[in-house]
């Protein structure tokens, strides 16, 4: 019976020998449970068997599983980051056009952000909280993503971030979302929205 032990960067001799014989990367089989890349002392899996860790959950039990909190700090154009924009003085402003302002890239980025948010929310337990953030000032990467996500996920609701009332920021275009900008906040640009998973 396989029991998870604490992870170490030193691979056992047998494993190294096996890897030498098979230098090509192995494809992960869908019939086997995924391997944990890292399991440290406080990971909660040390001492568990694979059967205990990957147990099947009945449909009516799913709501009780998942994470209490999830952070989706999504990939974005970084146009709100003053330090990042300053780099284009060195890289050239044509690069800014290609990497930040290109319409096709923006469409792809919007899809990626929505997928990241959706997947993060899927991992959340009922009653749990998810924070979505970017360092972009654009509506397309912030409020538009939030709006579309809420339309597609009936178990998601925006919640207040009580501490935000004391932050040097202002409300976003959608109620309960928040924006930081260099003028208001004396920071780089940021967008923050907090969701809760509810039972329908």
pLDDT digits 0-9 by tens, 85-108: 777 777 777 776 776 667 777 788
The reported pLDDT for the residue numbered 65 is: 75
C-beta separation of 158 from 176 below 8 A: yes
The reported pLDDT for the residue numbered 26 is: 45
**Residues carrying CATH 3.40.50.150, the chain:** 63-197
Query: In 76-188, where do the E strands start and end?
Result: 124-134, 156-158, 170-171, 177-180
Which residues are documented as binding site for S-adenosyl-L-methionine? 73
Homologous superfamily of domain range 63-197:
Vaccinia Virus protein VP39 (3.40.50.150)
Range of weakest confidence among 12-26, 62-76, 88-102, 173-187: 12-26
Which residues are documented as binding site? 73
Q: Is the pLDDT of residue 52 over 80?
A: no
Q: Model-level pTM? A: 0.67
Cα–Cα separations (whole angstroms), residue 78 to 26, 44, 110: 36, 35, 13
* pLDDT tens digits for range 128-139: 999 999 999 889
Give catalytic status of residue 135 as yes or no: yes
Q: Which of 120, 132, 124 is nearest to 68 (CA)?
A: 124
The reported pLDDT for the residue numbered 192 is: 96
In angstroms, rounded to a whole number, what is the distance separating the alpha carbons of residues 186 and 80?
A: 12
């Amino acid at each position: 019976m396989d029991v998870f032990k604490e992870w170490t960067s030193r691979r056992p001799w047998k494993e190294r020998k096996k890897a030498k014989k098979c230098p090509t990367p192995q494809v992960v089989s869908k019939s086997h449970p995924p391997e944990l890349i890292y399991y440290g002392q406080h990971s909660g899996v040390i001492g568990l068997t694979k059967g205990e860790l990957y147990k099947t959950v009945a449909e009516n039990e799913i709501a009780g599983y998942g994470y209490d909190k999830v952070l989706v700090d999504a990939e974005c154009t970084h146009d709100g980051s003053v330090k990042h924009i300053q780099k284009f003085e060195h890289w050239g402003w044509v690069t800014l056009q290609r990497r930040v302002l290109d319409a096709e890239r923006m469409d792809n980025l919007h899809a990626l952000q929505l997928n990241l948010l959706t997947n993060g929310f899927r991992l959340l337990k009922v009653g749990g909280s998810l924070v979505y953030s970017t360092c972009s000032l654009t509506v397309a990467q912030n409020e538009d993503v939030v709006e579309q996500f809420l339309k597609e996920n009936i178990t998601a609701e925006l919640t207040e971030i009580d501490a935000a009332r004391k932050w040097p920021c202002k409300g976003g275009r959608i109620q309960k979302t928040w924006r930081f900008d260099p003028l208001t906040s004396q920071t780089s640009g940021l967008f923050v929205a907090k969701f809760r998973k509810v039972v329908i």
